[in-house]
Amino acid sequence: MDERWQSRITIEPGKRSGQPCIRGMRITAQDVLEYLAGGMTPGEVLADFPELVAEDLRACLEFAPQRERSLLFFCAS
């Protein structure tokens, strides 16, 4: 799997309680995923958050299954 998301999703302990954020901003990957799951189109998300670009949304979508796999591994250990 291509892991291009790693250059866009950052984790900083002092920012948003260490949640994965987009490019060091205060917008979390979870925020973006919830907007998309809630029915917003990518265009609507980008219009509401002009600091984001389409590659940021793709990074969130690529990041989500990786995060789930790591959580499953952690729980199974």
Q: What stretches of the chain adopt beta strand conformation (E)?
A: 9-10, 21-22
Whole-model pTM: value is 0.81
**Does the pLDDT of residue 1 top 60, yes or no?**
no
pLDDT in tens, 6-26: 889 999 999 999 999 999 999
4-67 CATH pick, 2.40.180.10, 1.10.357.10, 3.10.20.740, 1.10.10.10: 1.10.10.10
pLDDT in tens, 13-65: 999 999 999 999 999 999 999 999 999 999 999 999 999 999 999 999 999 87
Where are the chain's structural domains? Answer: 4-67
Q: 7: buried, middle or exposed (CB in 10 Å: 19+, 13-18, 0-12)?
A: exposed
> Is residue 25 within 8 Å of 51, Cβ to Cβ?
yes
